[in-house]
């Protein structure tokens, strides 16, 4: 016999109407991020990033948003990782933020490009030293024999950079996602959720429309 998961919830924390949402999607995302931060949510800036692999399979994982502006969303990673390779091969991505306690989801589609080296340098320099060493030590997404491999590599790079500032590894840096579509979802009672979509029109201006839940 099949066992279904029967959890049900009536969403009623907030509403999302045209008249109470920003006309630019970045402003709306900033408002919702600020709400998530104020709510004290762990990893309020985490989002699921789906890339397309060379094998044709979409692949999703969580990363952290480090910058948000009209130019797009920035996150940092290892360029040689699985995602790094996917993104250099296929620039279109899908993003999903989910804040369960706020009954909110944001979906974004866009294209990625690597940050300038100078931009990644600046962010790398602001990271704690252990994270900087970690970036050198971890061949992200590569098979390793055991945890000891990592620990040895950490030791190696701690020695190598013992008397100096840790430079940014050439294989580590940021990507900027330039969105073409945002969807803001606010849970509402009886499955009549609010869904506002922002998309770029032919004049490269942001248009807003409502879609059915």
Cβ nearer to ligand FMN, comparing 51 with 186:
51
Nearer to ligand FMN, 53 or 161 (CB): 53
Task: Annotate 66-132 with DSSP letters as a single string.
Answer: -EEETTEEEEEEETTSHHHHHHHH--EEEEEEEEGGGTEEEEEEEEEEEPPHHHHHHHHHTS-HHHH
Residue with tokens 């061949």: 139
Which parts of 141-160 interact with ligand FMN (CB under 6 A)? 141
Is the CB of 10 or the CB of 43 nearer to ligand FMN?
43
CB-based contacts of 197, cutoff 8 Å, min separation 6: 181, 182, 183, 184, 208, 209, 210, 211
CB of 84 to ligand FMN, least distance (A): 6
**From 140, 171, 178, 183, residue interacting with ligand FMN (rule: CB under 6 A):** 140
- Both tokens of 123, joined, read 């962010």
Q: Which of residues 57-86 bind ligand FMN (CB under 6 A)?
A: 59, 61-64, 75-77, 81-83
- CB closer to ligand FMN out of 82 and 199: 82
Is position 90 an interface residue for ligand FMN (rule: CB under 6 A)? no
195 in catalytic set = no
Q: Decide the pairing of beta strands 172-186 and 206-210.
A: unpaired
Residues that bind ligand FMN (CB under 6 A): 43, 46, 59, 61-64, 75-77, 81-83, 140-141
């Amino acid at each position: 016999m099949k066992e279904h998961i029967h959890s049900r919830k009536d969403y009623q924390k907030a509403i999302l109407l045209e008249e109470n949402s920003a006309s630019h999607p970045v402003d709306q995302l900033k408002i919702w991020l600020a709400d998530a931060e104020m709510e004290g949510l762990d990893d309020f800036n985490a989002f699921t990033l789906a890339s397309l692999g060379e094998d044709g399979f979409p692949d999703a994982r969580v990363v952290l948003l480090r910058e948000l502006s009209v130019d797009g969303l920035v996150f940092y990673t290892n360029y040689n990782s699985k995602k790094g390779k996917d993104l250099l091969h296929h620039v279109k991505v899908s993003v999903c933020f989910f804040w369960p306690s706020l009954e909110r989801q944001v979906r974004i589609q866009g294209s990625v490009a690597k940050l300038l080296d100078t931009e990644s340098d600046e962010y790398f320099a602001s990271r704690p030293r252990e994270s900087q060493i970690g970036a050198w030590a971890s061949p992200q997404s590569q098979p390793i024999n055991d945890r000891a491999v990592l620990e040895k590599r950490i030791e190696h790079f701690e020695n190598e950079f013992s008397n100096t500032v840790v430079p940014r590894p050439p294989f580590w840096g940021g990507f900027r996602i330039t969105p073409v579509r945002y969807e803001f979802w606010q849970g509402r009672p009886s499955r009549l959720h609010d869904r506002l979509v922002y998309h770029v029109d032919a004049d490269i201006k942001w248009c807003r429309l409502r879609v059915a839940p």
